[in-house]
Amino acid sequence: MKKMLFAALAISAFAAPAFANLQLAQKNNCTACHAVDKKVVGPAYKDVAKKYAGDKAAEAKLVAKVKAGGAGVWGAVPMPPNAQVSDADVKTLVKWVLSLK
């Protein structure tokens, strides 16, 4: 019984931050165009993580792109600027996206 409780607590400790970040993405309307594991209008978050894996400047590039918008990297459909999203939320979301496998 103790082992099962410990396992459940361990799983929830890892799942809670991911769920919170997905909720943050939903709150800021990111999920209108993106999903974790499939292309919607924009690329899947996991594809973004894969593309920028190993790029030490990726976080700064993506924070700027989320705030200012961009086009051409993932196709013809532009990403609109998201200046209304707080800097703290953008940084949290970008770190989360880059952490996905």
Query: How much of the chain, in percent, has pLDDT values that exceed 70?
Result: 83
Q: What is the pTM of this model?
A: 0.81
Reading phi first (left if > 0) and then psi (alpha if -120 to 50, else beta), residue 74 is in: alpha
Spatial contact of 85 and 25, defined as CB atoms under 8 Å apart: no
Give the whole-angstrom CA distance, residue 79 versus residue 60. Answer: 17
Residue 56 pLDDT > 60: yes
Q: What is the CATH number of domain 2-99?
A: 1.10.760.10
The amino acid sitting at 9 is L
Between residues 93 and 15, which one has the greater pLDDT? 93
To which residue do tokens 């800021």 refer?
28
Q: Please, which residues have CB within 8 angstroms of residue 61's CB and are 6 or more apart in sequence?
A: 52, 55
Higher pLDDT, 77 or 19: 77
Report whether pLDDT(12) > 80: no
pLDDT on residue 10 = 43
Question: Where is average pLDDT lowest: 19-23, 39-43, 56-60, 63-67?
Answer: 19-23
